[in-house]
Copies of this chain bind each other. A is one copy, B any other.
């Protein structure tokens, strides 16, 4: 039964990632014939996971083919996103649409585990109460701005929130109490996967995603697979030392880390906004810089220099096909691209950078949330009908 289970999951994965696909397209992608697709689709349809719709027109290339459509409104997951300045919960449908969402802003950094879990669980219950009758919840995923232990979703270290070894995954699971585990991932790891699946990194298996929150997170794909390392804690880009002599102190206890030089505190301070907080304050600096305000422009250029050094190092180390700027780094990069590119030209080896593209996130503030949703869908996609 393993091959059958695997084919069911592969078909569902294709429509989850690509949206509606004709039987012919699925047959080609999966290397099986159309009658196999027909049989698999019938099973998935009987389980309420997909439906078939008649073709809307002829393509000129052979007879028209029925279209397999994910049941996005009926089949969903709960996805949570813990950022320093904002908690988000959403119900995300098969295929990726955000069906419903709750969000609370926070006015300052830091909140304890109990508070965060209580707020998330409350939003999660609201989403479930508001879901139409007949909706299924296939899983739960969560994104957190810190280092996450694979398996149980323990936050090993989240300096921006001041968390060390907090049992986030198990506590959120308990608080939700709907009998489903919570798959937790680091926000930038999840953002990298989401950008690869349906954002600015589609087709780029050697991908670096930089996520600007209070700190600078990193998610790296090597040959299409997340760089985890020995314990799953890889890609801590924000704590790469870039300024060893007289660097700014970092929340991690070191100084001169990339996120100390190019993170939120550095940006706001350089722009004369020390004491302000959160992504909207950082975006205001980027807008001011674009509008020609001198202090803001100088601040963003300075940040761009450090960011460019960090990216140059990553290009030398990973020879990526694409580097994606996400979170508030999206807006920072849009203004500081000249400084970033100049540093890359200066410090990245020509052979290493000759085909590396720089892009902004295609999913904007939803990259991490959509990555969390995909964690929630993983079990369903692995074994859609729970076939043994």
Contact = CB atoms under 8 A, between A and B. Distances in A.
Contacts of A233: 319, 349, 351-352
Contacts of A231: 319, 351, 354-355
B157 A350 contact: yes
Contacts of A316: 236-237, 239-240
B245 A157 contact: no
Contact of A225 (B223, B236, B319, B320): B223
A317 B252 CA distance: 15
Interface residues of A, number: 50
> Which of A237, A320, A351 lies at the interface centre, i.e. has the most chain B CB atoms within 10 A of its CB?
A351
A347 B223 contact: no
A232 interface: yes
Contacts of A314: 317
Given A236-B317, A241-B312, A349-B157, A222 B230 contact: no
Contacts of A220: 317
A263 to B, nearest CB: 15
A227 interface: yes
A229 B147 CA distance: 24
A348 B223 CA distance: 25
Contact of A349 (B227, B239, B312): B239
B239 A242 contact: no
Given A312-B241, A349-B157, A206 B222 contact: no
A293 to B, nearest CB: 27
B235 A227 contact: no
A316 B233 CA distance: 8
A340 to B, nearest CB: 14
Nearest to A220: B317
A257 B218 CA distance: 22
B355 A227 contact: no
17 contacts: A157-B349, A220-B317, A230-B319, A230-B320, A230-B321, A231-B319, A234-B318, A236-B316, A239-B348, A239-B349, A241-B242, A241-B309, A241-B313, A242-B244, A244-B309, A254-B347, A257-B347
Interface of A: 147, 156-157, 206, 218, 220, 222-223, 225, 227-237, 239-245, 252, 254, 257, 309, 312-314, 316-321, 346-352, 354-356
